Structure 1
C-alpha cells in the first residue's frame, strides 16, 4: 500500500504553501499531487512569458464558462494553471493581500481566527518584502515580494492624475493603507517569476518526508464510512489508490475542488443523484457561492514615450531579450500591471469596491489563441468590481474527473453590480482626462468616445466584459447551512478531510487573489499540525512509509 500521513491534492498557490508548512515538521510524511507537469520552463520562469501561457494546452486547464444569457450567450474563457505552482505559475504575479475589512468580514460571518489581526502574522510569515519589514510586512519568509524593476513615467503620471481626483496616494497597498493609488508589488525575484512552487517547495524538494508527484490526476476521495482514507488517481492511464494515515486535503482550487468533492459523493444530494453518484455526505453548499471579479478593459493610444510597446515588438524585442538574459532586468522582468487604484463606485460604500489597474502597454489577441504586444504605442486601464453581490455555481457535467465541470458565474444579472462597473468606466475616464496623464493620451481606442450613456456602456460590458480570473467561494467557510467547511477548514460531517484553497473564502477578497490563497495554505498548515489526529491503521503493520 502507498501510505502517507497527509495527501495534498493540487500543487497550486495554497497547496504548495500548505505542503511546505506540513513537511516543516519532520514527523509528517507529506504527498503533494499535481495533475500537470513540472514548472521548470523558461517562459514559466520569465515574467513576460505570461502571454505565452494564457492559452497553453499543456500547462493550462483552459476552462470555459457555460453560455451566459446576459452576455449574449458568450462563453467566457477561464485559464487555470495545470502545472507545479498552479495558477501562480501562469498569472500576472500581482501581490495584493486584500482590505483589512475583508478578513474582519470573514470573521464576523462566524469564522473565529480569520480576522485581519489573525491573518496578518501569516502574511508576514510567508513573505520577504524587498523594502524591509515593519508592523505590516515580513522579511524572513519564502516568498520574495518586489516593486517593479522599471517604473514608467506614465505610471507616475497616472498616480498623480488619480490623486488630483481625490484618490489618496499609498506607498504600500499591502501595509497600513489599502484604499488608494500606488505601484503594485509582485512575486518576482532577480527578474524571475517566484511561483508558490518555486518559493515554498523547490527549496525543500530533497526532504525525505516530502514527495511531489506530477501527472497525477485525482479522480475521487476514498472513504471508509464518513472518514477520508485516501484518493484514487489516474497516472499514465492507470488508476491507483493512495492512502492517508492522517488527512486528505483538497487544494485543487475553486473550480476543481468542488468538482472532485461531488465526484466523491460529497455535495448537494440532488446534484449527485442526477449523475448516479453514491452519496457520502449531503452538503448543499459544495459548488455554490461561486464568486469572481467581473473585469472590463479600456485602451488608449498615447505618445511613444508613454508606452513600452515598441520595446517588445519588431527588432527591439530581440534587444530586450538579450538584455533580460544578461541582466535579468528590463521589460521582460515586469509583472502584468504597474499601478492600482482602489476607489468607491459610490460615496456610501464602506470601503473601496473597485480596483483600477494601469499598465503602460497593450496586448492584442488573435483568433488562433496567440497573444502579442501591439505595435502602436498604447496604455491599458482595466477595472473590476471587488465585492460582487451575484454568486454562481459549479455543477457536474459528467462523472469523469477529466471533463471540466459546468461553471455558471451569473455575471451582469444584478443591477447593483452593473452600476458599480459602469461607475468604474467613468472613474477611468475621469482619471485619464486629468493632468498629467491627459497630455500623454492621443485618444481613447476602446470603448471609444461613441460609448457614453449608461446604456452604451452596459452594451460594452455585455460584448467585451471578462473575468479577472479570481474565482473563489465554492466551498465556503462558515457555520450557516450552506457552509462546507468550519473555521478549521474541516469538511462538515466528515472526518480527516479538509479544503485549503480559495474556495473556502466566504466572499472574494478586494484585489488579486493569489496572495490570500497562499496565506490560506500557510495558516492551514499551522492549524492542521495543532489539530493533529492519530494515524489511522491502513496497512497490516500500521507503519507509515514512503511509497
Structure 2
C-alpha cells in the first residue's frame, strides 16, 4: 500500500497551492490527485481560448442544474474545470479579491483569524503584481497578475461614462478602493494564462517528495473509526487504497467536495440514509449553503472602432492569431472582461452589491454550451448581485462518484435578488447612454430597447440568466450547527480531515472567486503545517 504524509484531493485552484506549500518541506511526502487529465494545451494557455474550453469534453465536468421552476424549468449549464489547474485552467482569469467587509463578516460569524487584516498577508504572499508591491499588493509570489495588454478606447470610455454617474475611478480594485470603476487585472503572464497549476506546481513538479496523478477518481475517504487514514481511488479501471499518515485534504471544489464527503459518510442524516451510506459523522450543513453569482448578459450593436469582434472572426482572425504566436500580445492575450464597476443597487446598501463588467466585444451563448463571437461590431456588459439573499443545495444523485450530483441553486427565488439585478440592468443602460460611450452605441440588442418594465426584465432574466461560475459555501466554515469545518478548516466530528477550497466560504465574496479560493489555500497550508500531527503507523481500514 502506498503511503504519503498528505493526500490532496483535487488539483484545482486550492489543491495546487496546497501541493506547492506543503511540499516546500522536503521531509513531507505529498500526493496530489486529480480526476481529470493534464491541461497543457494551446487553448488552455492562450487567454482567448476560454471560449473553446467552456464546453470541453475532457477539461470540463459539464454539469447542469436540476430544472428550476423560477427559470422556466431550465436546466442551467454549470461548467467546472476538470484537469490540472481545475477551474483556473478554463475561467476568464479575472483577479478580484473581494471587499474588505466580506472577510470581516466571515470573522464576525465566529471564524477568528479570517478578517481582512488576517487574510491580507496571504493575498500578498501569493501575488506577483506586475506594477510592484505596496501596502496592499505583493510582488514576490508565484501567481502573476497583470493589467490588460490592450486598453481598448471603448473600455476607457465606459470608465469615463461611469464616473459621470458618480462612480469613483479606482486604479486598483485589489488595493485601497474596491468599490468603483476601473480596468480589471488578470492571471496572465507574458500573454499566457497563469493557472494555479502553472503558477504553483509546474515549476516544482519534479520534486521527489511531490507525486501528481491524473485520471484518479476518488470514490471515498477511508476511515478507521472517525480518523481519516486514506482514500479509495479508481485509476485505469482498478480500485486502490492509498494511505495518508497525517491528513487527507479535500480540495475538490464547491460541487465535488460535499459530494465526496457524503459518499464517505459525512453529511445530513436523511441524505446518507436515502442511499444506505453508513454514517461516520452526521453533519447537516454538508451540501447546503450553495451560493453562486446569478449572471445576466447584455449586448449592444456598436460602431466598428468600438468593438474588436472583427479582429477575432472572419479572415482577420488568422492575422490576429499570427500576431499572438509571434508576440504573445494582441486580442488573444486578453482576459474575459476589460473593465468592472462595483456599484450599489440602492442607496441603502452599506457597500457595493453589484458587479458590472464591460467588454469591447460580444458573443452569443448557445444553450448547448457553445460560445460564439458575434460577427457584427458589438459591445457587451453583464451584471450580477455580489451577496445573494438565498442559497441552494448540492445533493447526491447516485452512489457512483462519476455521476454528477444534484445541483439546485435556487436562483430568482428572492425578490431582493431580482430587484438588485434589474437595478443593475438599468444602470448598464444609463452608463451606455452617457458620453463619451453613448456615441459608440448604435442599438441595444439584448435585452432590447422594447424590454422596459420590471416584469419584462424579469422575463429576460428567466430566459437568459446563467451562472457566473462562482459556486461556493457548500462545506461552510462556522461554529453554528450547519458549520462543516472549524476556523482551521478541520471537518467537525472526525479527525485528520480538512476541506480547503471555495466550499468553506460562509458567504461568497464580492467578485470573482478564484483569488479568494487561492488565498484560502495559502492560509490553509500554514494551518496544516502548524497543526502537523505525529506520524501515525496505522494501516487504512
Same fold flag (TM > 0.5): yes
Counterpart for residue 458 of structure 1:
458
Deviation at residue 39 of structure 1 after TM alignment: 1.1
Counterpart for residue 488 of structure 1:
488
Deviation at residue 366 of structure 1 after TM alignment: 4.5
Pair 1:114 & 2:147 matched: no
Looking at structure 2, the residues matched to 492 and 422 of structure 1 have their Cα atoms a distance apart, in angstroms, of 40
**Which deviations, in whole Å up to 9, do the C-alpha atoms of 1:449-489 show, x marking residues without a partner?**
11101111111111111110100000000100000000000
Counterpart for residue 25 of structure 2:
25
Work out whether residues 471 and 502 of structure 1, in 8 Å CA contact, stay in contact via their aligned partners in 2: yes
Report the 3-state secondary structure (helix = DSSP H, G, I; strand = E; otherwise coil) of the residue aligned with 1:176: coil
Work out whether residues 323 and 329 of structure 2, in 8 Å CA contact, stay in contact via their aligned partners in 1: yes
Counterpart for residue 310 of structure 1:
310
Counterpart for residue 213 of structure 2:
213
Counterpart for residue 85 of structure 1:
85
Counterpart for residue 165 of structure 2:
165
Work out whether residues 243 and 538 of structure 1, in 8 Å CA contact, stay in contact via their aligned partners in 2: no
Counterpart for residue 123 of structure 2:
123
Work out whether residues 88 and 514 of structure 1, in 8 Å CA contact, stay in contact via their aligned partners in 2: yes
Deviation at residue 19 of structure 1 after TM alignment: 1.1
Structure 1 residues 395 and 162 mapped into 2: Cα distance closer, same or farther (>3 Å)? same
Report the 3-state secondary structure (helix = DSSP H, G, I; strand = E; otherwise coil) of the residue aligned with 1:372: strand
Work out whether residues 472 and 502 of structure 2, in 8 Å CA contact, stay in contact via their aligned partners in 1: yes
Counterpart for residue 371 of structure 1:
371
Work out whether residues 254 and 503 of structure 1, in 8 Å CA contact, stay in contact via their aligned partners in 2: yes
Counterpart for residue 233 of structure 1:
233
Looking at structure 1, the residues matched to 367 and 514 of structure 2 have their Cα atoms a distance apart, in angstroms, of 29
**Which deviations, in whole Å up to 9, do the C-alpha atoms of 1:318-338 show, x marking residues without a partner?**
001100000000000000000
RMSD: 0.9
| Moved segments of 4+, more than 4 Å | 366-369
Report the 3-state secondary structure (helix = DSSP H, G, I; strand = E; otherwise coil) of the residue aligned with 1:332: helix
Work out whether residues 39 and 84 of structure 1, in 8 Å CA contact, stay in contact via their aligned partners in 2: yes
Work out whether residues 357 and 382 of structure 1, in 8 Å CA contact, stay in contact via their aligned partners in 2: yes
Deviation at residue 369 of structure 1 after TM alignment: 4.2
Looking at structure 1, the residues matched to 311 and 292 of structure 2 have their Cα atoms a distance apart, in angstroms, of 33
Work out whether residues 302 and 442 of structure 1, in 8 Å CA contact, stay in contact via their aligned partners in 2: yes
Report the 3-state secondary structure (helix = DSSP H, G, I; strand = E; otherwise coil) of the residue aligned with 2:372: strand
Structure 1 residues 174 and 367 mapped into 2: Cα distance closer, same or farther (>3 Å)? closer
Counterpart for residue 337 of structure 1:
337
Work out whether residues 309 and 362 of structure 1, in 8 Å CA contact, stay in contact via their aligned partners in 2: yes
Counterpart for residue 197 of structure 1:
197
Counterpart for residue 545 of structure 1:
none
Deviation at residue 100 of structure 1 after TM alignment: 0.4
**Which deviations, in whole Å up to 9, do the C-alpha atoms of 1:411-467 show, x marking residues without a partner?**
000011111111111110111111110010001000001110111111111111111
Counterpart for residue 518 of structure 1:
518
Deviation at residue 384 of structure 1 after TM alignment: 0.3
**Which deviations, in whole Å up to 9, do the C-alpha atoms of 1:25-48 show, x marking residues without a partner?**
222110000000001111101001
Counterpart for residue 224 of structure 1:
224
Looking at structure 2, the residues matched to 166 and 251 of structure 1 have their Cα atoms a distance apart, in angstroms, of 41
Counterpart for residue 361 of structure 2:
361
Work out whether residues 229 and 539 of structure 2, in 8 Å CA contact, stay in contact via their aligned partners in 1: no
Counterpart for residue 58 of structure 1:
58
Deviation at residue 364 of structure 1 after TM alignment: 2.1
Counterpart for residue 385 of structure 2:
385
- The TM-score with structure 2 as length reference comes to 0.99
**Which deviations, in whole Å up to 9, do the C-alpha atoms of 1:517-543 show, x marking residues without a partner?**
011111100010001111111359xxx
Counterpart for residue 536 of structure 2:
536
Work out whether residues 284 and 482 of structure 2, in 8 Å CA contact, stay in contact via their aligned partners in 1: yes
Counterpart for residue 98 of structure 1:
98
Work out whether residues 181 and 341 of structure 2, in 8 Å CA contact, stay in contact via their aligned partners in 1: yes
Looking at structure 1, the residues matched to 135 and 61 of structure 2 have their Cα atoms a distance apart, in angstroms, of 39
Number of aligned residue pairs: give it.
540
Report the 3-state secondary structure (helix = DSSP H, G, I; strand = E; otherwise coil) of the residue aligned with 1:185: coil
Structure 1 residues 539 and 273 mapped into 2: Cα distance closer, same or farther (>3 Å)? closer
Work out whether residues 307 and 377 of structure 1, in 8 Å CA contact, stay in contact via their aligned partners in 2: yes
Work out whether residues 102 and 509 of structure 1, in 8 Å CA contact, stay in contact via their aligned partners in 2: yes
Report the 3-state secondary structure (helix = DSSP H, G, I; strand = E; otherwise coil) of the residue aligned with 2:170: coil
Work out whether residues 243 and 539 of structure 2, in 8 Å CA contact, stay in contact via their aligned partners in 1: no
Looking at structure 2, the residues matched to 168 and 313 of structure 1 have their Cα atoms a distance apart, in angstroms, of 35
Deviation at residue 370 of structure 1 after TM alignment: 3.2
Counterpart for residue 428 of structure 1:
428
**Which deviations, in whole Å up to 9, do the C-alpha atoms of 1:174-226 show, x marking residues without a partner?**
00000000000000001100000000000110111110000001111000000
Counterpart for residue 401 of structure 1:
401
Looking at structure 2, the residues matched to 451 and 370 of structure 1 have their Cα atoms a distance apart, in angstroms, of 25
Report the 3-state secondary structure (helix = DSSP H, G, I; strand = E; otherwise coil) of the residue aligned with 1:95: coil
Deviation at residue 172 of structure 1 after TM alignment: 0.1
Looking at structure 1, the residues matched to 368 and 292 of structure 2 have their Cα atoms a distance apart, in angstroms, of 26
**Which deviations, in whole Å up to 9, do the C-alpha atoms of 1:476-528 show, x marking residues without a partner?**
00100000000000000110000000000000000000000011111100010
Deviation at residue 266 of structure 1 after TM alignment: 0.3
Pair 1:47 & 2:36 matched: no
Looking at structure 1, the residues matched to 206 and 56 of structure 2 have their Cα atoms a distance apart, in angstroms, of 29
Instruction: Give structure 1 stretches of 5+ with no counterpart.
Output: 541-547
